[in-house]
Amino acid sequence: FVFLDIGLGMVIFTCILGQLTTQVNASYCMIDFINNYFALFTLYVAMGVEFSGVMHSSYLIQNILSAMSGKPIISNEEPRTGFTFAFFWGRVVMSIAILGFCLAVTLVALFNGDTMVSVKYPGIPNGVSVFLFFFFMAIVGMLEAMQIAFFAVAKLPADERGTSFFGRKTCDLLFKGNGQNLPGFMIGRQLTVVFSFFLVASITGLNITPGEGNNIFGIKDGAQAFLNYGFHGAVITTILASISWQLAASAYPIAFLNNPATYVLLCVALFLEWTGLCSGAWVLARVLKSITRIQYDEVYVGTPEERLANNHADKDMTISQDVGHLTGGGFAGHLVGSHDALDGPMISRDAIDASA
C-alpha cells in the first residue's frame, strides 16, 4: 500500500534516477555535463519559459523583499528604461493575473471536490484537502528555504549562525563533526520535496471531464482539457512553494535558522537519509559516468592547487559579498577540480577557523 498506492516507489524512482544520480556526476564533471546539445536545449527551454513572463511575479516578490530588508539585488543587468522597463513590468502584471487565476481554479476545484484527491482518497473532506494543499506547499517552501539558508550561513563563524535556542541546535546538528550532515540533509531534503510535490500534484490535479457541462468557471472544453494537464499546479508550486521561499531565505537566512520548524525538518531529512533509500544513486552515478565517459573537471582546468601555482587562483567571495544578498546563492561547496566531498565530508567553517 505504502510503496505503490501512496507512491513511495515512484518517489524513490524520481529521486534516484531523475535527480540525485545526475547531481552526483554534475558536481564533479560540470564541464562535460554541459558540453552536449541536450544541455543547450535545456538551457534554451528554461530561458524561453523565463522570457514568456509566466513566472515574472517572482521578480515582484524579489523587489518587495529587497525593499523590506534593505538589501540590494545583485545583478549584472543595466537598469531598465523605456520599452525594456514597460515590457518587464507588463510581464509581471500578466504573471500575477495568471497566478491569481491558477489559485482560483485550484481552490474552487478543492471546495467542490473536483480534484484527484476525491478519487484517490474519497474519505478526505474538501476542507481538509484545502488545508493539506497549503500545508505541503509550506513544507516544500521551508525545505527550499533551508537549502539556501544552510549554504549561506556555512560561511559564517559558528557564533554568528544562530541567535536563538533552535537556531543554535540547528547549526550544532547541521555542522556537527566535519559538516557531514549538510550533504546528508540535501539527500533527505530531496526525498521530502519530491514526496510533497507528488501529494500537491494529486491535490491540484483536476477531475473534470470536458464536454459534460461541469467545466470550471464555464470555460470551453479545450481550455478545460488544457487545465487537466496540471499546468496551473506547476505555476502555483513554482512561484509560491519554491522561488518565493528561496528569495526570502537569501534575504533572511538567520531568521529561517531560528525557526523551530527548521530544526524539525532537518531531523526528518537526516532520518530519511539514514534509512539509505537513495543510497543507490552513488552506484548508478558511477555506472552512468563509465558509460558516458565524462571526465572530472580537473582534466580540463586542473586542481585548485594547480591553478593557484599557475597564477590562476579562483576568485574568493567574501562573506559581505555573498551572505544576505538576494542572489539565491550562498553555496559553499568544493572548488572546481576538487574531490573534497568525494573523499569525505566537506570541510566546515568551524574546522577552518580552528586550524587558522
Mind listing the pLDDT tens digit for each residue in 189-225? 888 888 888 888 888 888 888 888 888 888 898 999 9
Cell, residue 152: 549561506
Q: How confident is the model at residue 14 (pLDDT cuts 50, 70, 90)?
A: confident
pLDDT for 50-93, tens place per residue?
Answer: 999 999 998 898 888 888 877 777 777 788 888 999 999 999 99
- Judged by average pLDDT, the poorest of 15-24, 69-78, 227-236, 344-353 is 344-353
The predicted-structure confidence for 112-142, as pLDDT tens digits, reads as follows 888 888 887 788 888 888 999 999 999 999 9
Nearest to 323 by CA among 32, 26, 74, 28: 74
224/144 Cα distance (integer angstroms): 31
pLDDT at residue 11 is higher than 60: yes
pLDDT reported for residue 101: 94
Name the one residue in this structure whose C-alpha cell is 482518497. Answer: 121
Question: How far apart are alpha carbons 262 and 275 in whole angstroms?
Answer: 20
DSSP-assigned letter for residue 230: T
